[in-house]
Amino acid sequence: MKTIILKINSQRIDLAKIKIAAEEIKRGNLVAFPTETVYGLGADALNEKAVAKIFKAKERPFNDPLIVHIADLKELYRLSKQVPPVALELAKMFWPGPLTLVLKKSELVSNIITADLDTVAIRMPDDNIALSLIREAKTPIVAPSANLFGRTSPTTAQHVAEDLNDKIEMIIDGGKTKVGVESTVLDITVSPAQVLRAGGISVEQLKKVIGEVKIGEELEMGFRSPGRLNSHYSPRAKLILVEEKGETQASKVLQIAFEYKGQGFKVGIMAKEENKDQYNGFKVKVIGKGNELKTCATNLFSILRSFDQEGFEIIIAEGLEEQGLGLAIMERLRKAAVPKYEC
Ligand code: TXA
Ligand code: MG
């Protein structure tokens, strides 16, 4: 099939165009659309056949559950049979926004969405195009990130086309996404609530609202979030993450860079602004200042993709501080850095 690209200005929504895209969703077809985090690959959440098409297009295994996107808080009560007060507190504070809540599912939610779990992941995206699309389609929309399974998430329509061109009906091009990393996935069916995936809302922000929060790696993740594989977000190049802190970081990066260059590989470095001049002779892409993690999050995936586009075989990434958005960035870099043979 030929993928149609529909350009929409998110500041001045052209409703006629949104209606065209909403028609595709209603017909049971796939539409990729921008959210504030990354581009999503959307289908009608209440149409099982449409949902199944997502797994096929992404080459995603069926044991990886999907997030349902809503535009109206009332939908929570249709999709979940048990909405605890904490859900409303969090929604009030962070929706629309990059927080996904895991709740007990209702009968309305198909098992194909939840990978047979009795819970469902729900979020309200903070993006005018996404919200208008959901409203016009008059149905909740399931949407994983619009990349091939296991690969780097897309932050532009161009990235989506690289992975899914001619495999889906439509891509809405709404420009670059503003957050750049996916939503935080928070399980509130347990107490204390547990972060299953770090993301756009930081653990510090969550703690301010609900007090205690458990963080992913302390849990038996395999059980509660089957989609959390070790290897994910991978560029085609081999990614090496240098976690050394402080002054030794740059010398470690250089040592590895020279090693691979010596073996004939094309080596690129993803560095913080303050270190960029330390790597003479290597292609350096700047993720942002080490203390401006918002900027770093926005640039992360597009830098990894651009190294791939330019034919780099090795990407050496400097580690960042694990506070705020830094936790989400580091979680993604660690997974992207897992060698393929270990996944
Ligand atoms: O920012 C985002 O969340 C983006 C945009 C498009 O909204 N979506 C996204 O979807 O990242 P995806 O499919 O790439 O990641 C969904 C994550 C997976 O790690 C999956 O395992 C988890 O959410 N998840 C979904 N349903 C779940 C459930 N019922 N219980 C636990 N984890 C769940
Ligand atoms: Mg994804």
Distance 245 CA to ligand 1 centre (A): 31
Closest listed residue to residue 3, CA positions, set 235, 166, 148, 151: 166
- 332 annotated ligand-binding residue: no
Q: Strand 40-44 and strand 141-142: pairing?
A: antiparallel
Distance 114 CA to ligand 2 centre (A): 15
CATH class of 4-215: alpha beta
In the chain, where the domains are located: 4-215, 238-336
Q: Which of 145, 159, 178 to mutate to test the pocket of ligand 1 (most atoms within 8 A of CB)?
A: 145
- pLDDT, residue 340, reads 47
Rounded Cα–Cα distance for residues 129 and 141 (Å): 13
Distance 37 CA to ligand 2 centre (A): 11
pTM above 0.85, yes or no: yes
Atom of ligand 1 nearest to the CA of 64: 21
- 123 annotated ligand-binding residue: yes
Ligand found nearest the CA of 65: 1
pLDDT per residue of the chain (343 residues) written in tens, 0 to 9: 999 999 999 999 999 999 999 999 999 999 999 999 999 999 999 999 999 999 999 999 999 999 999 999 999 999 999 999 999 999 999 999 999 999 999 999 999 999 999 999 999 999 999 999 999 999 999 999 999 999 999 999 999 999 999 999 999 999 999 999 999 999 999 999 999 999 999 999 999 999 999 996 544 444 445 445 567 788 999 999 999 988 899 999 999 999 999 999 999 999 999 999 999 999 999 999 999 999 999 999 999 999 999 999 999 999 999 999 999 999 999 999 966 444 3
> Is the minimum distance from the CB of 198 to ligand 1 under 6 angstroms?
no
State both tokens at 269: 């470095």
> Is the minimum distance from the CB of 320 to ligand 1 under 6 angstroms?
no
> Is the minimum distance from the CB of 155 to ligand 1 under 6 angstroms?
no
How wide is the angle at C-alpha 193 spanned by C-alphas 187 and 197, nearest 5°? 50
Burial 129-166 (b: 16+ CB within 10 A, else e): bbbbbbebbebbbbbbbbbbbbbbbbbbbbbbbbbbee
- 80 annotated ligand-binding residue: no
- 233 annotated ligand-binding residue: yes
> Is the minimum distance from the CB of 144 to ligand 1 under 6 angstroms?
yes
State both tokens at 61: 């295994």
4-215 and 238-336 in the same fold = no
Ligand found nearest the CA of 112: 1
- 110 annotated ligand-binding residue: no
Fold of 238-336: Rossmann fold (3.40.50)
